[in-house]
Amino acid sequence: MNVLITGGCGFLGARLARTLLQQASLPLAGAPAQPVEHILLADRAPPPADLQADARIRVLQGDLLDQAASGALPLAEVQLVFHLAAAVSGECEADFDLGMRSNLDTTRALLEGCRRAGHAPVFVFSSSVAVFGDSPEQPLPAVVDDRTLPTPQNSYGIQKFVGEQLVADYTRKGFVQGRSVRLMTVSVRPGRPNGAASSFLSGMLREPLAGERARCPVPPDTAVALASPGNTVAGILRAATAGAAEWGARTAVNLPALTTTVREMAQALERIAGAQATALIDWSPDPGVARIVTGWPSRIHARRAASLGLAADPDFDTVLRQYVQENPQAVKLPLKG
């Protein structure tokens, strides 16, 4: 089996690639397991050194839209596509054209490439909880479930919802076997901040653990729906392995979410690294960021995901301890117990 991961050199893409390499085989769309022979990472960025060193990894570096439109992607040889590449929420609000090009035009071009390939590869599309948004005209229900109508309130959410519909129609026509999964905010992400409005939900933990100051732009009682990196990758992989009957409708699946508050996240940080860590958080409001983040749902009833064997992280202490265990080089403060 040959696999394409767009955004494959980013944090989630690289983690997904490592997981596939470790598993070595995958039961694609309910079929018997097949060996993973090659993984193609398509990204603007270079790959991490460990992936570059693996003989099963190939890298195609450059602009994804140009590659898809020109036929540079070897889609005729690929049985499974994970489309993770995207411009993130804050970037799309700041630069409308960037969001449309990266999130809409590129998704369409990639689907067209799969259509021309002619063998209906499994196509896993990473959508987002941002397809749901709250407005006075259409307030969100207290709990979002699989039948809740998406009402995105920012460009990123709209682009992701349009992408879901494109995947559904290309699936209906038999061009791909599409599986759209709505990712929750991933926390805790290692590395540096990105342009997502939700970036602080990692930064307010990651930076203090590294002995650096961090800003929290929303009130402490702000409720959020989160998933750990490991749980997120598990959901993406399950979309690829589920048979057609298991997957069910062509509509997107909401991945499971842990509901917590920003205050509770800070309390978990203090339990793990003490008051010296939380003293590094600057509670400094940003109305623009707060408007986006508080417009997303914080409580998700993911029944379809549960039927696929997926579950939310148990609590935020567990999520934060996983980050500490996986990234010891990024932790500079002494830990408690």
Distances (CA, A) of 280 to 171, 201, 215, 276: 48, 14, 9, 7
Of these residues, 123, 125, 132, 156, which one is catalytic?
Answer: 156
State how far the Cα of 255 lies from the Cα of 253, in Å rounded to an integer: 6
Provide the terminal-to-terminal Cα distance of the chain, rounded to the nearest Å.
44
State how far the Cα of 310 lies from the Cα of 125, in Å rounded to an integer: 17
Q: What is the dihedral of CA 206, 321, 201, 307, to 10 degrees?
A: 150
Structure tokens, 314: 């148990």
Q: Is 156 a catalytic residue?
A: yes
20-55 per-residue burial string, b: 16 or more CB within 10 A, e: under 16: beeeeebebbeeeeeebeebbbbbeeebbeebeeee
Residue type, 137: E
Q: Looking at the annotation, which residues are catalytic?
A: 156
